[in-house]
């Protein structure tokens, strides 16, 4: 048996800065994970549908526009609603630390700010995914 | 549309029911999970697949393959739209290569299918090839069966045609569409790789680009050459010339269906007589004839022995209705001639062989197998053993099930 | 013996001496590289410039090929325009910020729009949820634009608008506001970014596919050349390409490749190159490697001048000049120890000034965390003022010219850029190269390499991977009032009830007809704007005709 970690990397909202999302996608791939990359302008509904169909272990959201407090909780709520609350949700981008607690209270497992080494994200995923 | 299941969109996993049962009910999470189990080689997969036996065989399995950049995903996206507009449910398996170095993969095909991102009648799954025998993911064939069992009427399997995978796909799909595109340097590299044999429908995508007519001509030429070689001993079919030689004629300029050539027999576009939602209303012969005469595809089925060559512009959806019709016509033809059974038997045989091969490799790569293999390899290197003898010994051990 | 031969001997002797001492006094690293990863030698001498021609490479300031600057006196005449990009929340709030900036001595406005505006969605569109007023000001209609410039005489300021896909619509709104102020279009000064190609590769606020987007751009070129003659019709932007992770040479190459594509499109549409090229402007980044950045600007000017003169046969010297705006590098800012960013910004701003920029935005220290506060914005502006008034960098023209190192770097950036341009030409030009994902791939590769270098510690980022401290969460960050979205939606509702909907309908129908044909779209857009059609309504008409762009992703 060869269980691969599958990660959905998505950019919710409208900002087009996908450098971080693409770098993390590559880093996860180079760590042996399977990354489903869905690109820009994803609605929470699209993200959750993709997460379920792709049966991912992790949803990694990147956002730089400041709409995180609105969009991240929508993703976690919808996942729970669809019976997929076991999927780990993490976030990154330009997100003030003051918002971390709020996002965590909404089910976002971790928030990685600018400058986070990709290794930290990888380690977090490996240590925190819920095995199916 | 196949009577699937009213609960098709049910999402809450119910722990009290088995995975197979939930898949048969079309429960999305269960379908997705079973595909994961198949990919991971989880024993739960085998159990569920056994329970699902007899539930498949209804879906039309469509392979779409072609070189990178040929627009397969966009084409698939548009095909989904056509099938959906006819009331059918569509499953998609998009296969991309895994990195040979890390085993990881970035799967981006879904990006181009966002038009159906939240349509509950569409299930899209990205698969990494994880291939050890090259080509398609070992789970692809089984995953297609899962989607079939879950009530999807069409299952589109999209693969990058660069190596082994496009040859594999013919073993899975009822109909294989081979996509080419002008301006990729070596225009018809796919064809030249000697895999022309596997195409049931040929597509020249991005046909609004310069050079598309030339690609069409080249494909036609190769198909005709191959066909004439094959039947050189046989008398030519009576109407084998009909529609040929018109490749550069006005019909081929018809990037838009409205540009029907003056003097064409039946200028109606394919779309106008497209089958009603959920049902193919024309007989295969009617459909084939209709396609023959449609302005967009003058040459299609002109010679029933030759696969059609169609032009599409996936970005705008041009020609995609006609492609859908041609794909459906192909499967109808298989059914009518009894070749569908033949083809599927071959697919099942190939799958069984694959399972055996994978099992052998699994055993070989398991702890004890690996060390035995290593020891034998060293012996070969040192000259104390020859590679034939070594392989023989390994095989004997494996077939006795002697290695975990 | 010639002087160079003597020098060669001397340098050889020097190197031999260095080799001897290296065993005892090793250098800090085995290899030294620029900020973009290009190798840096121990020593540069006149030998590195052997065979180069002063006249062909440099010329004098204000002369072809403009390596030394586009004006003959540069900052001795007047300083660059200090232009701070700003805008957030709604038109009322942003109007206040602009007035604050003008009082503080800023000399040009730079409008940041929120993302729905940049992508042509009204504030009440489903995808606008959570985004309204976040990264810039929300503009739904002419009514918002009137408030945005309330009390700001448009014939007195120059206004830069960071707007791309719907640039035609926002420009039309600006013209319509000016009309209401009694200012005729020929009196307007400013810039629209209007650079769609870099949106496809780096910034992501595209709407339409390339072909109709290029048409909109050439429509603007044509319209402005007649009606809004002082307007900079495009700001061909390397800034975002660099932010997406490119190297300095890639920034120059891909930006100029885009520029070539715009010029070709306009020429193909029947415009005379000298009619529109003088209004083309550029927008570059400024990163931390001072010398490489200065070289980059100098090389870019030289490459562009030669292309315009030799490839496009432009006759007007103004068509040869690469004029550019600079913004300091957002991606170089750290969220850690944010005050350190003030120093980074100072170095970057100095590079832009030494490189002869025409205008400059200095980032605020807190931009890796949130939108900047007023205090941070003030420091950023003061940084420019200190460079202008105290550093001496503005007192002579192109002060780094003749530095063996800087001239060598300039030559190298030029060579690398030309190699990329050749490759892009082979692929069929920038549009094709972008459609095939080539440009994106090159940028992504550089971005990933940089990230790995940082993570391995090969590249030190102070406060990030070295010299870290324990920090507490920063306080006092600017937060956009979340009710902005609701208020904006309310305004829209009121507008739709109040306006002459018959006129809107007719204007939108006329726009649709024009879009389906090949008429210039500026006049019908202007009429729709005057009728208070919303940005979303106008863009939806064009979406219907043009379709929407679907990105290609490659890794």
pLDDT (tens digit per residue) in B170-226: 788 999 999 988 876 554 554 555 566 778 999 999 998 888 898 888 888 888 877
Examine residue C547 and state whether it is found in any structural domain, yes or no.
Answer: no
Residue B239 covered by a domain? yes
Per-residue pLDDT, B289:
44
Q: Is A11 helix (H, G, I), strand (E, B) or coil?
A: strand
CB within 8 Å of B14: residues ≥ 6 apart: B22
Question: Measured between alpha carbons, how far is C333 from C241 in angstroms, rounded to an integer?
Answer: 16
Long-range Cβ contacts of B389-398 (<8 Å, 24+ apart) = B394/B364, B394/B369, B397/B369, B397/B372, B398/B360, B398/B363, B398/B364, B398/B369
- Identify the CATH number of the domain in which residue A73 sits: 3.40.50.280
- How many structural domains compose chain B? 2
pLDDT number for residue B253: 30
Is A90 domain-assigned?
Answer: yes
Last residue of a domain, one of C441, C456, C471: C456
In this structure, what CATH number is given to the domain that contains residue C148? 3.20.20.240
The pLDDT of residue B270: 34
Distances from the Cα of C38 to the Cα of C163, C240, C409, angstroms: 33, 21, 9
Query: Looking at the domain assignment, is residue C189 inside a domain?
Result: yes
Residues B104, A35: C-beta atoms closer than 8 Å: yes
Question: Does any domain span residue B40?
Answer: no
Q: Which residues of A touch B106 (CB under 8 A)?
A: 25-26, 29, 35, 37
> Final residue of a domain: which of B317, B337, B357?
B337
Helix, strand or coil for residue C359? Answer: strand
- Whether residue C516 lies inside any domain: the answer is no
**Predicted local distance difference test score (pLDDT) of residue B303:** 59
Question: What pLDDT, on a 0 to 100 scale, did the predictor assign at position B16?
Answer: 52
- Asked if residue B309 lies in contact with residue B202, where contact means CB atoms within 8 angstroms, the answer is yes
Please tell me the distance from the alpha carbon of residue C85 to that of residue C93, in angstroms, as a whole number: 14
* Residues C320, C233 contacting (CB under 8 angstroms): no
Looking at chain B, which residue has its C-alpha nearest residue A81? B12
- Let me know: does B172 contact B196? Beta carbons within 8 Å: no
Total tally of structural domains belonging to chain A: 1
Q: What is the pLDDT of residue C530?
A: 98
Given this model, what pLDDT does residue B7 score? 42
Which of B120-124, B253-257, C146-150 has the weakest average pLDDT? Answer: B253-257
The mean pLDDT of C506-516, rounded to a whole number, is 98
Q: Verify that B377 and B239 share a domain, yes or no.
A: no
Domain identity same for B93 and B220 = yes
pLDDT confidence bin for C369, thresholds 50/70/90: confident
Bridge pairing between strands A6-12 and B105-107: unpaired
Determine the structural domain holding residue A36 and report its residue range: 6-127
Instruction: Write the DSSP assignment of A19-81 as a string of letters.
Output: HHHHHHHHHHHHTT-EEEEEEEEE-HHHHHHHHHHTT-SEEEEEE-SS-HHHHHHHHHHHHHH
Helix (H, G, I), strand (E, B) or coil at C86: strand
Determine whether the interchain pair B111/C555 forms a contact, defined as Cβ–Cβ distance below 8 Å. no
- Tell me which residue in B104, B118, B126 faces A46 most closely, judged by beta carbons: B118
Is residue B42 in some structural domain? no
Is there a single domain that holds both residue B59 and residue B159?
A: yes
pLDDT at C105 over 70: yes
Same domain, B199 and B238: yes
Q: Which domain holds residue C15?
A: 3-46
Last residue of a domain, one of B293, B309, B337: B337
Ramachandran class of B144: left when φ > 0, alpha when ψ lies in -120 to 50, beta otherwise? alpha
Sheet-wide strand order for C359-361: C231-232, C189-192, C158-162, C108-112, C81-86, C359-361, C324-328, C280-286, C234-237
Domain boundary residue among C456, C479, C509?
A: C456
Cis peptide before C65 (omega within 30 of 0): yes
Check A17 against C203: CB less than 8 A apart.
yes
Q: How far apart are CA B221 and CA B237, in angstroms?
A: 17
> Is the same domain home to B360 and B313?
no
Residue B174 inside a domain? The answer is yes
Decide if B112 and C550 are in contact by the 8 Å CB cutoff: yes
Answer yes or no: do C30 and C61 share one domain: no
Query: Does the beta-carbon distance from B108 to C555 stay under 8 Å?
Result: yes
Q: Residues C40, C59: one domain? A: no
pLDDT in tens, B316-340: 899 999 999 999 999 999 999 999 9
Residue B29 is assigned to a structural domain of this protein: no
Please choose, from the candidates A127, C347, A29, A46, the residue with its C-alpha nearest in 3D space to the C-alpha of residue B113.
A46
Q: Is residue A132 included in any domain, yes or no?
A: no
Alpha carbons C122 and B373: distance in angstroms, whole number: 66
Chain B nearest-CA distance from C133, in A, is: 26
Query: Which residue in chain C has the smallest CA separation from A25?
Result: C555
Contact C520, A4 (CB under 8 A): no
Residue C267 located in a structural domain = yes
Q: Chain A residues with CB inside 8 Å of C455's CB?
A: 117-119
Interchain proximity C550–B69, CB inside 8 Å? no
Q: Which residues of C410-422 are buried (b: 16+ CB within 10 A; e: fewer)?
A: bbbbbebbbebbe
> Nearest CA to CA, how far is A125 from chain B (Å)?
15
Same domain (yes/no): C38, C70: no
Sort out which chain C residues have CB atoms less than 8 A from A18's CB and list them.
204, 244
Same domain, C66 and C7: no
Size of interface A-B (CB pairs under 8 A): 98
Looking at the predicted structure, is the pLDDT value of residue B70 above 90?
no
Contact (Cβ atoms closer than 8 angstroms) between residue C186 and residue C140 = no
**Residues B250 and B354 grouped into a single domain:** no
> What percent of chain B lies above the pLDDT cut of 90?
38
Q: Looking at the domain assignment, is residue A97 inside a domain?
A: yes
Q: What is the pLDDT of residue B197?
A: 73
Distances in whole angstroms, Cα of residue C217 to Cα of each of A78, B20, C264, C514 = 41, 56, 12, 15
Mean pLDDT of C4-25: 94
Domain assignment present for C248: yes
Closest residue on chain C to B110 (Cα) = C553
Query: In whole angstroms, what is the distance from residue A11 CA to residue A44 CA?
Result: 10
Q: Please choose, from the candidates A5, A132, A115, the residue with its C-alpha nearest in 3D space to the C-alpha of residue A60.
A: A5
Sheet holding A110-112, edge to edge: A110-112, A88-93, A58-63, A6-12, A34-42, B105-107
- Does A64 reside within a domain? yes
Q: Are residues C42 and C130 in the same domain?
A: no
CA distances from C397 to B289, C76, C321 (A): 77, 8, 16
Residues whose CB falls within 8 Å of the CB of residue B355, separated by 6 or more in sequence, listed in order:
none
Nearest to C321 by CA among C56, C70, C72: C70
**Extended strands (E) in C265-382:** 280-286, 324-328, 359-361
Q: From CA B359, how far away is CA C321, in angstroms rounded?
A: 68
Q: Contact at 8 Å (CB) between C502 and C145?
A: no
The reply to whether residue C209 touches residue B69, judged by beta carbons under 8 angstroms, is no
User: Over 70: is that where the pLDDT of B232 sits?
Assistant: no
When pLDDT is averaged across residues C443-460 and rounded to a whole number, the result is 95
Q: Give contacts of C209 with chain B, Cβ < 8 Å.
A: 315
Mean pLDDT value of segment A115-124:
95
Chain A: residue nearest B124 by CA?
A53
Nearest CA in chain B to C209: B315
Closest alpha carbon to C484 in C475, C492, C495: C492
Confidence (pLDDT) at C84: 80
Nearest to B11 among A3, A54, A82 (CB): A82
pLDDT band at B161 (very low <50, low <70, confident <90, very high): low
Does B209 lie in the same domain as B354? no
Range of the domain at B244: 55-337
Distances, alpha carbon C301 to alpha carbons A107, B67, C141, C356, in Å = 51, 40, 38, 10
- Residues in B whose CB is inside 8 Å of some CB of A read 11-13, 28-29, 32-33, 35-36, 39-43, 98-99, 102-108, 110-111, 114, 117-118, 123-126, 128, 130
CB pairs under 8 A between B and C: 16
How many Å apart are CA C191 and CA C176, to the nearest integer? 16
Nearest-CA distance B108 → chain C (Å): 7
| Distance in Å, alpha carbon of A55 to nearest chain B alpha carbon | 5
pLDDT of residue C257: 98
Give pLDDT, residue B77: 94
pLDDT at B341: 92
Q: Are residues C216 and C295 in the same domain?
A: yes
- pLDDT over 90 for what percent of chain C? 88
The SS3 of residue C399 is: coil
C258-284 burial string, b = 16+ CB within 10 Å, else e? bbbbbbbbbbebebebbebbbbbbbbb
Nearest chain A residue to B31 by CA distance is A53
Q: Mark yes or no for CB contact C243/A19 under 8 Å.
A: yes
Q: What angle do CA A79, C479, A39 make, to 5 degrees?
A: 40
The answer to whether residues B242 and B281 belong to one domain is yes
Q: Do both B357 and B250 map to the same domain?
A: no
In a domain, C509, yes or no: no
* Chain C, nearest residue to B105 by Cα: C555
Q: What is the pLDDT at residue C309? A: 98
Pick among C123, C130, C195, C478 to test the A interface (most A CBs inside 10 A): C130
Determine the average pLDDT of the residues in B377-390.
Answer: 93
Q: Which of C125-134, C194-203, C467-476 has the highest mean pLDDT?
A: C194-203
Q: How open is the CA angle B396-B397-B402, to the nearest 5 degrees?
A: 145
Hey, are the CB atoms on A53 and B105 less than 8 Å from each other?
Answer: no
Query: Would residue C466 count as lying in a domain?
Result: no
pLDDT > 70? residue A88: yes
Chain-chain contact of B106 with C550 (C-beta, under 8 angstroms): no
Q: How far apart are CA C38 and CA C454, in angstroms?
A: 16
| Count of structural domains within chain C | 2
User: Based on the domain organization, do C158 and C17 belong to the same domain?
Assistant: no
Of B50-64, C175-189, C264-278, C474-488, where does mean pLDDT reach its minimum? C474-488
Q: Report yes or no: C282 and C235 within 8 Å, Cβ to Cβ.
A: yes
Confidence of residue C460 (pLDDT cuts 50, 70, 90): very high
**Based on the domain organization, do C160 and C196 belong to the same domain?**
yes
Q: Tell me, yes or no, whether B70 lies in a domain.
A: yes
CA pair distance B179, B184, nearest whole angstrom? 12
The DSSP call for residue C344 is H
Q: Do C553 and B108 touch (CB under 8 A)?
A: yes
Flag whether C483 is in a domain: no
Question: Which of C428, C456, C484 finishes a domain?
Answer: C456
Q: Look up residue C396 and give its DSSP letter.
A: S
Give, for A12, the enclosing helix (H) or strand (E). Answer: strand A6-12
Cβ contact, residue pair C551, A40, below 8 Å:
yes
Per the model's pLDDT, the better-predicted residue between B323 and B236 turns out to be: B323
Q: Which residues in chain A have Cβ-Cβ distances shorter than 8 Å to C243?
A: 17, 19
| Cα–Cα distance for residue pair C538/C529, rounded to 1 Å | 8
Question: Which residue does chain C place closest to A43, by CA atoms?
Answer: C127
Asked whether residue B212 falls in the same domain as residue B316, the answer is: yes
Distance CA C295, CA C274 (A): 27
pLDDT at residue B245 is higher than 50: no
Chain A nearest CA to C445, separation (Å): 9
Do B195 and B292 lie in a common domain?
A: yes
**Is A91 strand, coil or helix?**
strand
Which residues of A touch chain B, with CB atoms under 8 Å apart?
A: 1-4, 6, 25-26, 28-39, 43, 45-46, 49-50, 52-55, 82-84, 132
Last residue of a domain, one of B300, B321, B337: B337
Q: Indicate if C155 and C35 belong to the same structural domain.
A: no
Average pLDDT over residues A77-95: 95
- The DSSP letter of residue C128 is G
Q: How far apart are CA B308 and CA B300, in angstroms?
A: 4
Interface of A with C (CB under 8 A): 13-19, 22-23, 25-27, 29, 37, 39-41, 43, 65-67, 69-71, 94, 96-98, 113-115, 117-119
Contact B216, B252 (CB under 8 A): yes
Which region among B197-211, C142-156, C182-196, C293-307 has the lowest average model confidence (pLDDT)?
A: B197-211
**Which tens digit of pLDDT belongs to each residue from B276-310?**
333 344 444 444 444 443 433 434 444 567 899 99
Contact A14, C131 (CB under 8 A): yes
Q: CA of B11 to nearest chain A CA: how many angstroms apart? A: 6
Whether A110 is in a domain gets the answer yes
Question: Which of A11, A13, A30, A67 is most worth mutating to test chain C (most C CB atoms within 10 A of its CB)?
Answer: A67
Q: Quick one: B177 and B288 in the same domain?
A: yes
């Amino acid at each position: 048996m060869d269980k691969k970690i599958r990660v959905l990397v998505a950019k919710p909202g409208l900002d087009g800065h996908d450098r971080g999302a693409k770098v993390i996608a590559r880093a996860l791939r180079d760590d042996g994970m399977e990354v489903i990359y869905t690109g820009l302008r994803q609605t929470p509904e699209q993200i959750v549908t993709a997460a379920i169909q792709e049966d991912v272990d992790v949803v990694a959201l990147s956002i730089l526009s400041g709409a995180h407090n609105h969009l991240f909780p929508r993703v976690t709520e919808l996942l729970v609603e669809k019976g997929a609350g076991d999927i780990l949700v993490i976030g990154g981008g330009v997100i003030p630390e003051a918002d971390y607690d709020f996002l965590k209270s909404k089910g976002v497992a971790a928030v990685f700010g600018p400058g986070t080494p990709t290794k930290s994200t990888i380690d977090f995923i490996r240590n925190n995914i819920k095995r199916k | 549309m196949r009577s699937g299941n009213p609960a098709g969109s049910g999402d809450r996993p119910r722990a009290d029911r088995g995975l197979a049962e939930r898949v048969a009910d079309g429960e999305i999470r269960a379908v997705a999970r079973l595909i994961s189990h198949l990919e991971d080689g989880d024993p739960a997969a085998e159990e569920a697949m056994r329970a699902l036996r007899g539930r498949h065989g209804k879906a039309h399995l469509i392979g779409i393959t072609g070189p990178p950049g040929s627009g397969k995903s966009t084409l698939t996206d548009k095909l989904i739209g056509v099938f959906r507009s006819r009331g059918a449910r569509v499953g998609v398996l998009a296969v991309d290569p895994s990195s040979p170095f890390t085993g990881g993969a970035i799967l981006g095909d879904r990006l181009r299918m966002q038009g159906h991102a939240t349509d509950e009648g569409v299930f899209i799954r990205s698969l990494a090839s994880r291939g050890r025998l090259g080509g398609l993911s070992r789970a692809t064939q089984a995953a297609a069966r899962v989607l079939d069992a879950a009530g999807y009427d069409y299952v589109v399997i999209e693969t990058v045609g660069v190596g082994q995978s496009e040859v594999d796909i013919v073993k899975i799909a009822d109909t294989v569409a081979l996509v080419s595109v002008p301006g990729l340097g070596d225009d018809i590299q796919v064809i030249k790789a000697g895999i022309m044999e596997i195409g049931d429908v040929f597509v020249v995508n991005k046909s609004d680009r310069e050079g598309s007519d030339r690609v069409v001509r080249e494909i036609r030429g190769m198909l005709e050459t191959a066909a004439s070689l094959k039947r050189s001993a046989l008398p030519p079919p009576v109407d084998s010339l009909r529609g040929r030689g018109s490749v550069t004629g006005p019909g081929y300029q018809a990037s838009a269906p409205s540009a029907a050539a003056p003097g064409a027999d039946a200028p109606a576009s394919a779309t106008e007589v497209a089958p009603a939602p959920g049902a193919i209303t024309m007989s295969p012969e009617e459909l084939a004839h209709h396609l023959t005469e449609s302005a967009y595809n003058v040459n299609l089925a002109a010679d029933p022995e030759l696969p059609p060559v169609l032009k599409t512009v996936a970005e705008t959806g041009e020609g995609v209705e006609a492609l859908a019709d041609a794909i459906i016509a192909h499967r109808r033809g298989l059914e009518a001639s009894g070749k569908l059974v033949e083809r599927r038997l071959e697919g099942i045989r190939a799958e069984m062989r694959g399972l055996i091969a994978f099992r052998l490799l699994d055993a070989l790569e398991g702890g004890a197998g690996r060390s035995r293999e290593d020891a034998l390899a060293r012996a070969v290197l040192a000259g104390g053993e020859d590679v034939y003898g070594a392989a023989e010994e390994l095989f004997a051990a494996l077939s006795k099930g002697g290695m975990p | 013996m010639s002087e160079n031969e003597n020098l060669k001997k001397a340098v050889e002797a020097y190197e031999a001496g260095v080799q001897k001492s290296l065993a005892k006094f090793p250098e800090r690293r085995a290899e030294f590289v620029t900020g973009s990863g290009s190798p840096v030698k121990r020593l540069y001498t006149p030998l590195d410039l052997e065979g180069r021609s002063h006249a062909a490479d440099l010329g004098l300031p204000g002369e072809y090929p403009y390596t030394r600057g586009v004006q003959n006196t540069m900052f001795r005449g007047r300083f660059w325009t200090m232009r701070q990009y700003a805008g957030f929340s709604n038109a009322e709030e942003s109007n206040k910020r602009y007035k604050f900036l003008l009082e503080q001595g800023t000399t040009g406005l730079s409008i940041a729009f929120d993302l729905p505006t940049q992508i042509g969605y009204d504030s009440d569109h489903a995808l606008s949820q959570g985004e309204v007023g976040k990264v810039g000001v929300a503009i739904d209609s002419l009514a918002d634009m009137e408030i945005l410039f309330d009390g700001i005489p448009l014939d007195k300021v120059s206004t830069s608008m960071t707007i791309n896909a719907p640039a035609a619509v926002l420009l039309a709104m600006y013209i319509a506001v000016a009309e209401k102020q009694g200012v005729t279009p020929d009196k307007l000064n400013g810039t629209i970014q209007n650079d769609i190609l870099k949106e496809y590769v780096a910034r992501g606020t595209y709407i339409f596919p390339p072909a109709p987007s290029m048409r909109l751009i050439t429509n603007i070129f044509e319209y402005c050349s007649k009606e809004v003659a002082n307007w900079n019709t495009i700001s061909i932007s390397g800034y975002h390409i660099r932010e997406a992770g490119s190297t300095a040479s890639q920034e120059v190459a891909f930006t100029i490749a885009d520029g070539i594509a715009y010029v070709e499109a306009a020429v193909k549409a029947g415009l005379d190159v000298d009619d529109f090229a003088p209004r083309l402007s550029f927008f570059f980044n400024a990163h931390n490697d001072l010398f490489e950045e200065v070289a980059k600007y100098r090389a870019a000017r030289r490459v562009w001048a030669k292309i315009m003169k030799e490839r496009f046969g432009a006759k007007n010297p103004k068509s040869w000049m690469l004029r550019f705006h600079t913004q300091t590098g957002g991606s170089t800012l750290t969220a850690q120890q944010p005050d350190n960013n003030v120093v980074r910004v100072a170095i970057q701003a100095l590079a832009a000034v030494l490189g002869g920029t025409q205008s400059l935005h200095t980032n605020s220290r807190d931009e890796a965390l949130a939108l900047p506060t007023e205090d941070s914005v003030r420091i950023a502006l003061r940084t420019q003022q200190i460079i202008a008034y105290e550093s001496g960098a503005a007192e002579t023209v192109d002060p780094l010219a003749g530095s063996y190192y800087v001239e060598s770097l300039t030559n190298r950036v030029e060579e690398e850029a030309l190699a990329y341009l050749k490759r892009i030409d082979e692929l069929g030009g920038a549009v094709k190269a972008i459609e095939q994902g080539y440009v994106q791939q090159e940028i992504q590769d550089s971005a990933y390499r940089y990230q790995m270098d940082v993570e391995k510690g090969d590249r030190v980022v102070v406060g990030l991977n070295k010299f870290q401290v324990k920090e507490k969460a920063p306080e006092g960050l600017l937060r956009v009032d979340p009710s902005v979205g609701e208020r904006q939606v309310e305004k829209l509702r009121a507008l739709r009830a109040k306006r002459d909907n018959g006129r809107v309908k007719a204007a939108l129908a006329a726009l649709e007809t024009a879009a389906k044909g090949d008429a210039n779209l500026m006049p019908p857009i202007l009429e729709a704007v005057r009728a208070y059609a919303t940005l979303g309504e106008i863009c939806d008409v064009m979406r219907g005709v043009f379709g929407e762009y679907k990105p290609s992703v490659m890794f």
